[in-house]
Amino acid sequence: MADTSNTQTQGASRFGRYVIYTLLGLVCLYYLLPLFIMVSTSLKTLDDIRSGNLIALPNEVTFEPWKEAWGSACIGVRCEGMSVYFWNSFRFVVPAVLISTLVGAFNGYVLTMWRFKGSDIFFSALMIGCFIPFQVVLLPMARTLGELGISNSIAGLIFVHVVYGVAFTTLFFRNYYVTIPDELVKAAKIDGAGFLRIFWRIILPISTPIIVVSIIWQFTQIWNDFLFGVVFSSGDRQPVTVALNNLVNTSTGVIGYNVDMAAAIIAALPTLFVYIVAGKYFVRGLTAGSVKG
């Protein structure tokens, strides 16, 4: 009796497992399909696309669309491809990510280790920044950039993204630092270290997990941003996301789907890369703040 019931449950659980894996496989396929179509389309010739099926593999593989997307596709009136804008994006994303991370770390340090009167109110106020939609700040930000004399410049974009990102990075670092015992800072004070030295020599070196989280988060946010890019920059100072949009919209009679797909993949590559390389730190770092020990 016992044996039969045992085999029955085993059989049932094995069946359940098959169902789960089949479902997971299907979901996986469903999510990978767009990427597959993008990659395969980007490697097809235009004739191939016109005559063939959407999900069919290319008849002959060609890298011409990629070359065109990178170096010679027309975006507006300029026909120099995505490369200019791709580097543009890097030129403001990297400084914006680093500055916002550093400012966030500094804010978090002050808000946890050097509390001042009203620091909790300050923190709560800063948190509201996480919930403000982009559209709300467009006009005030345009004014501010104008006053500062950095509108329509790389510096302006850096400024916008730092201001917008600081709320998030502060939240990350503050939540990470509250788990660090106060006694560490007290010991450093008695050792004679001052405000800045404690930050540089003790707090920042033990922040690696949360720095990684902050960098990944900020990098994907800023790299993928379209709205700020389209509003606060123009011409050859635009980021890659805006360029992609313009490339697709610039029509010269024939719609080059293969070039569009290649350009879209180029625009998405850096974030993909960051996730693949540092994804595991991301999960680890996000939970590091909440779980002590």
Gap between the Cα atoms of 118 and 127, Å rounded: 14
The alpha carbon of residue 239 and the mean position of all alpha carbons in its chain are separated, in whole angstroms, by 14
Other C-beta atoms within 10 Å of 6: how many?
10
Q: For residues 133 and 192, which CB has a smaller minimum distance to other proteins in the complex?
A: 192
Tell me 203's DSSP state.
Answer: I
Q: How far is the CB of 288 from other proteins (least distance, A)?
A: 13
The secondary structure of residue 202, as a DSSP letter, is: I
Q: Which is nearer to other proteins, 192 or 253 (CB)?
A: 192
Write out the residues near other proteins by the rule CB under 8 A. 181, 183-184, 186-193, 197, 201-202, 205-206
- CB 113 → other proteins: shortest distance, Å? 12
Which is closer to other proteins, CB of 110 or CB of 202? 202
Given a contact cutoff of 8 angstroms between Cβ atoms, the answer to whether 164 and 227 are in contact is no
d(CA 159, CA 113) in angstroms, rounded, equals 27
Q: How far is the CB of 120 from other proteins (least distance, A)?
A: 16
DSSP string for 119-145: HHHHHHHHHHTTTS-HHHHHHHHHHHH
Nearer CB in complex with other proteins: 165/285: 285
CA 188 to chain CA mean position, Å: 36
Provide, rounded to whole angstroms, the least separation between the CB of residue 134 and other proteins.
37
**CA proximity to 243, closest of 94, 91, 93, 83:** 83
What is the closest distance, in whole angstroms, from the C-beta atom of residue 121 to other proteins in the complex? 18
Q: CB neighbours of 135 closer than 8 A, spacing ≥ 6?
A: 227
Nearer to other proteins, 65 or 285 (CB): 285
Rounded least distance, CB 269 to other proteins, Å: 34
Residue number, 64 or 191, with CB nearest to other proteins: 191
